[in-house]
Amino acid sequence: MRRPTLADVAVRAGVSAKTVSNVLLGRPNVSAATRERVRAAVAEVGYVVNPAGRGLASGRTGRIAVVVPNLYQPYFAELAERLILALAECDLSTTLRIAHDGDAERDAVLGVTTRDVDGVIICPHHFTGHVIEDRMPPRPVVQLGGAPSRLIDCVVMGEREGFEAVIRHLLASGRHRIALVMTGPEMIEPPGERFAGYVAALDAYGVPFDKALLAFGSDWDRRMSGYEAMVGLLRSGARFDAVACVNDATASGVLRALRSHGIRVPREVAVTGFDNTDEGEFTTPSLSSVSPEQGEMVAEAIRMLLERIDGHDGPAREVRTGARLVLRDSSA
């Protein structure tokens, strides 16, 4: 059976094929009555728009690249799903790309690996603005998380505020020897907003920072990193009554390490995470965490991206979202 064509719609509606095309592409200068007649004709003949052809005509593909560093970390998996579903509600399809290192993230931003899309939303781990060396991306890009850049729009999560809130919670509950589990190379004072929030909360309560309470995992954002960091801290002999983890994945490993050493959570040691992933609700005990308000982050990122695609050409913008403490059994 022959598929209905644009010409069939034009004949049924009593207009030119050009007018049908203008209606389907949402172009102006077509009367409301004509639009209704064309839409009715589309439904009557069963015409289906060819996305590829529509893209060629409009100069757009209707597709957005979502770039994440991995999918094994629950935070990035959940964030990617939120973006894909929210973009679908805007009638946009998605290309999901894994950028496992800084070079791959830079290539995605500069269009080397994202030539076939209208825009890019990148959830970075390594990427910072200076790595593109003042080279403007060829298509709209929004950075979701990480340090803001002066070249591209960015949604900045409330890392410092969230981490300060969770440390204050632990201090207010009577814990004063709060270990901090980080990932990456071992150092006396790690960079980043989460460590800054940790120190700020300690200062507010007059608790001195003790570098002996810093523990590091060899690989970032894996459960095993939390496990090995906690085992190392236990072997060091350092005294602690709480553990604040840089994210929920490492917190899951910390909980297992404490359990395997017969340490009761939260009676002897309280544990907290960050990101408020679904995993935290099902650990034993359930995990107190910080929600970076992913829904708000996703909505702001898509809003700015669509504004850029529609022609906004102002300077790079920065939107800061909130952070909310979610208390569960692990720090009760």
Q: Percent helix, strand, coil in the chain (nearest 5)?
A: 45, 15, 40
Please give the Cα distance from 246 to 288 (Å, whole number): 12
Q: pLDDT in tens for each of the 332 residues of the chain?
A: 567 877 888 899 999 888 887 887 777 678 888 989 998 998 888 887 655 455 545 567 889 999 999 998 889 999 999 999 999 999 899 999 999 888 899 899 989 999 889 999 999 887 666 666 667 888 999 999 988 878 899 999 999 999 999 999 999 999 999 999 987 777 777 878 999 999 999 999 999 999 999 999 877 668 899 999 999 999 999 999 999 999 999 999 999 999 999 999 999 999 999 999 998 999 999 999 999 999 999 999 999 999 999 888 899 999 999 899 999 999 98
pLDDT for 129: 60
> Residue 196 burial by CB count (10 A; 0-12/13-18/19+): exposed, middle or buried?
middle
Q: Are strands 324-326 and 289-291 parallel, antiparallel or unpaired?
A: antiparallel
Half-sphere exposure of 126 (CA within 13 A, CB side): 17
CATH superfamily of 159-291: Response regulator (3.40.50.2300)
Question: Who contacts 57 (Cβ-Cβ below 8 Å, separation ≥6)?
Answer: 21, 25
Q: Which strands make up the sheet holding 270-272, listed edge to edge?
A: 214-217, 178-183, 242-245, 270-272
Q: Which amino acid is at 20?
A: V
Please give the helix or strand (H or E) that residue 244 lies within, else none: strand 242-245
Taking alpha carbons only, the member of 100, 146, 93, 149 closest to residue 123 is 146
pLDDT for 59: 60
Q: Which fold has domain 6-57?
A: 434 Repressor (Amino-terminal Domain) (1.10.260)
Instruction: Give the 3-state secondary structure of residue 61.
Output: coil
Helix crossing, 74-89 with 294-309: angle to 10°?
50
pLDDT for 56: 45
Domain layout of the chain by residue ranges: 6-57, 63-158+294-324, 159-291
Please give the Cα distance from 273 to 275 (Å, whole number): 7
Q: How many CB atoms lie within 10 A of CB 329?
A: 15
Q: Are strands 63-68 and 119-122 parallel, antiparallel or unpaired?
A: parallel
Burial 177-191 (b: 16+ CB within 10 A, else e): bbbbbbbbeeeeebe
Q: Same CATH fold, 159-291 and 63-158+294-324?
A: yes
Q: What is the CATH number of domain 63-158+294-324?
A: 3.40.50.2300
Taking alpha carbons only, the member of 42, 110, 40, 105 closest to residue 68 is 105
pLDDT for 58: 52
